[in-house]
Structure 1
Amino acid sequence: MDNRTRALNQAVSIDGWISKFDDNGTATVHADIVFRKGTFGENSDDKVRFKVALKRAEIVLRVPHLEPVKVIKRTIARTVTSPTGIITSKDVQKHAGKVGVSGIFGQNPSIDIAASGNIEKSKETTTESKVALKRFLEQHFVTDDDHAGWELKIHPDVDDRYLSGSPWDAVEAPRLNLKHQTGEAPDATNVVIEIRCAREDIEILDLEDKDPAAQALFRKKNNRNANLAAAEQLIKAELFKAGFLDVPDLDEKHSRILIADKIILVDEA
């Protein structure tokens, strides 16, 4: 079984495992994903230097339909992070009591009116508390070919624009459960974790020309466009080096790019 990992390592790391199948024939699938802001252009022959960060990504867990295992669909992680907000509660207290009123009205002393009744006095207090906020917004989806996926982006109330760190606890939050279809648990499966994004979700930051003489021209539009094209070609070269042979053109913002994948194995430890 090929357990090779392919990844744009400057921006993301990928790992995962399948637990041992229990006596009921089920196992849990775990994905260990870490995003980071990475640096490109460190080689002496690179024309430009820059950093890359992701604004959004999709994690897809592919369980081939011909495998001797099937996904238990009710176990797929479907957590949706609630938006931040304020919970407001009101405590209203009412006090009742009798008040008597009497007096002489007008010029006629024979008119003597006395009144009594209940007067309610209300006191209203308000308390506020904020809902706990996760860094990642996580939304489950199903791919066109019926595989489980999760869209990840940063919560708009978080003071950052880019994916950073882990979207979930890889040990405590498995993505789904598998059940084997044969009499014995399979020794290996072809379950694959993929990470993909659109070109518009790849942010190129701190782009600079490594040639000191050219740096003064960097802010000119034509020169910046040339450097951006050089950065895109460098990212494409890194993906090719990682083993992705079918990388789309990165000058199209809607291009869909596979930036990491891994075949995961049953953990026999």
Structure 2
Amino acid sequence: MTNTARILEEVVSLEAWHSPLVVNVDSPFHVALSFSEGRFQGGKDNNISFKVALKRATLVVFVDDNLKVPNKTKVREYPTRNIEVSRTNRESEAFGETNGSKTSGGGEIGLTKLNAKATQEENSGTQQTSNMSGEHKEFERVTRAMRMTHHKVGTQETWKIEPIDANTLQGMCHDGDDALIKITPKTALRLSDMAIRVFLKCDAEDIEVSDIELDKSLLEKLSGANLQRRKKQAKIVIAQKLAERSLELVDLDKKYQEVILADVLAVPE
């Protein structure tokens, strides 16, 4: 492994970095990840072009044995499914019940949950609530086009990524401003050799191929397009692109075959 990123750039953008490692000190670990629709073309012997997007993906962070990840530092879900908004007593009286529970007393009481709507691009803004007396309260609404959900798989920290309000992954998933986890060296021995590998994978069936254009033979022109043949040719091109970037080559026709789309080694900054 080297620090050179091996990425299928047309579809995935992945960067990973962390603060310099110090024994028994938690160092923030950051990942910036975004997705786009890629346009692929075959070579001289395979005159085909098509679009590729991902339906789902999994981000994997593999940490050296001499590093630990404190459980309290892990981002379990990003963004969270709901935004909680506190209401004042006067607001609660105006709205009656909040979340099915009657409110009483004074101060900050009651919670209303608002689903964060997804957009194609990362977006944030301010919204206001008001009551009959004109009193209002501001809160921040943050929206994302996809959601990351944490799973611990053996020694790997993984996040399943799914679109919130679309069929494929498009746009910014995580901007890297906030740490995804923190890492702590357990020993000072070979501190500079401790590595954090980050890769993005998906099932072969989660690679969506569309808008396939292929030079047709005379027989095909007479008999109509053969979609299965087109998809077969498209998978050949995708396999070639994976091989060009030294990514693992797999059989894309197998339903649950895992495909590595990006493989990077995080570096200290």
TM-score tier, shorter chain, comes to 0.7 to 0.9
Deviation at 1:250, TM superposition (A): 0.8
Which letter does structure 2 place at the counterpart of 1:182? T
* Equivalent of residue 244 in structure 1, options 244, 247, 250: 247
Q: SS state of the match for residue 235, structure 2?
A: helix
Q: Confirm or deny: 8 A CA contact 1:188 1:265 kept in the other structure.
A: no
Asked if residue 137 in structure 1 is aligned to residue 137 in structure 2, the reply is no
* Corresponding residue of 1:64: 64
Counterparts of 1:1-269 in structure 2, within 5 Å, are 2-21=2-21, 25-41=25-41, 43-65=43-65, 68-83=66-81, 91=94, 130-133=114-117, 134-143=144-153, 145-155=154-164, 158=165, 160-170=166-176, 172-183=177-188, 186-211=191-216, 216=221, 219-220=224-225, 223-245=226-248, 247-267=249-269
Distance 1:165 1:237 in 2: 25
- Calculate percent identity across the aligned residue pairs: 24
Cα distance 1:90–1:41, how it changes in 2: closer, same or farther (>3 A)?
Answer: farther
Cα distance 1:175–1:130, how it changes in 2: closer, same or farther (>3 A)?
Answer: closer
Cα distance 1:92–1:148, how it changes in 2: closer, same or farther (>3 A)?
Answer: closer
Deviation at 1:7, TM superposition (A): 1.4
Q: How many residues align?
A: 223
Deviation at 1:236, TM superposition (A): 0.8
Over alpha carbons, which structure has the higher Rg? 1
Q: SS state of the match for residue 234, structure 2?
A: helix
Q: Confirm or deny: 8 A CA contact 1:37 1:53 kept in the other structure.
A: yes
**1:148-201 deviations in Å (ceiling 9; x for gaps):** 11011111xx2x31111221220x221111111224892342211110000111
Distance 2:7 2:219 in 1: 32
**1:111-134 deviations in Å (ceiling 9; x for gaps):** xxxxxxxxxxxxxxxxx9953333
Which letter does structure 2 place at the counterpart of 1:132? A
**1:87-122 deviations in Å (ceiling 9; x for gaps):** 9x77479xxxxxxxxxxxxxxxxxxxxxxxxxxxxx
Distance 1:78 1:154 in 2: 17
Deviation at 1:69, TM superposition (A): 2.2
Q: CA RMSD in A?
A: 3.0
Cα distance 1:82–1:129, how it changes in 2: closer, same or farther (>3 A)?
Answer: closer
Distance 2:163 2:223 in 1: 31
What TM-score does the superposition give when structure 1 sets the normalisation length? 0.72
Q: Confirm or deny: 8 A CA contact 1:50 1:208 kept in the other structure.
A: yes
Deviation at 1:22, TM superposition (A): 5.9
What TM-score does the superposition give when structure 2 sets the normalisation length? 0.72
- Which region of structure 1 is more displaced relative to structure 2, 132-141 or 256-265? 132-141
Distance 1:129 1:71 in 2: 31
> Which runs of 5 or more residues in structure 1 are unaligned?
94-127
Distance 1:218 1:15 in 2: 47
Q: SS state of the match for residue 166, structure 1?
A: strand
Which letter does structure 2 place at the counterpart of 1:76? K
Cα distance 1:74–1:214, how it changes in 2: closer, same or farther (>3 A)?
Answer: farther
Distance 2:33 2:152 in 1: 19
Which letter does structure 2 place at the counterpart of 1:232? K
Distance 2:95 2:4 in 1: 64
